[in-house]
Amino acid sequence: MSISVIIPTLNEEKYLKDALISIGPDLEIIIADAGSSDSTLKIASCFTEKIILSEKGRGAQMDKGAREAAGDTLLFLHADTRLPDSWRGELASALKDAKVIAGGFRLKIDSGRFYFRVIEAMVNLRSRRCGLIYGDQALFVRKDAFFAVRGFQGLPLMEDVDLIRRLKKAGKIILLDAHVSTSPRRWEKKGILRATLKNWMFLSLYYLGVAPERLYRRYYA
């Protein structure tokens, strides 16, 4: 098994180094950057030579990175998320089962606030019971399965939700026991309750059939 780690970036100088350190040595790392104007690319160049430029949009960035990947397993890592020390062993063990085509890690949020423990519990329960594993949980997928379902299809929003829905029809999705650690910034920026309610609302709209492109325009309006 060979692994390619793909990180979409846009002005991630504050978090990227820690994410890259958590990956460890001797793996292909692909940075798919959407035009950073800070030190993101300088930091990335200390860890990998494989830096590609992409149009904005996490789905498009990760699709472009996947097309450049040499590994037979793709791991999509957000720039503000750190992998656990045991991640390679966990991944290798899971993929020994030929029925497993994709999965992710349990979520831990880098904050001591109690409300984040509630969010973690809800995310991990959803992931275990429903197989709904999202991008901030470091999605991994066999490359042949990824391209068989046409990847993220360049979606600008809900790209992870949409991919998992299609992958669930193709094979087994697994939640690993280890936790990734992610920044609380997206909750703290808008306020924890407001951000949570907004996420639920947009997820509900997606499941009701509203196009991700339309949701993207409304989300960032």
| Domain span including residue 31 | 3-185
Q: How far apart are the first and last CA of the chain?
A: 42
- pLDDT class of 33 with cuts at 50, 70, 90: very high
C-alpha–C-alpha distance, residues 13 and 118, integer Å: 29
Rounded-to-10 torsion of CA 68, 70, 84, 159: 40
181 three-class SS? strand
DSSP state of 135: G
What average pLDDT is seen over the chain? 91
Is 64 part of a structural domain of the chain?
A: yes
Residue 131 and residue 149 in contact, taking contact as beta carbons nearer than 8 Å: no
Give residue 92's pLDDT. 94
The domain total for the chain is 1
pLDDT single digits (tens) 74-131: 999 999 999 999 999 999 999 999 999 999 999 999 998 898 898 899 889 888 888 7
Is 205 part of a structural domain of the chain?
A: no
Residue 177 and residue 87 in contact, taking contact as beta carbons nearer than 8 Å: no
Is 204 part of a structural domain of the chain?
A: no
The CATH number for 56's domain is 3.90.550.10
Give residue 32's pLDDT. 98
Is 212 part of a structural domain of the chain?
A: no
Give residue 143's pLDDT. 98
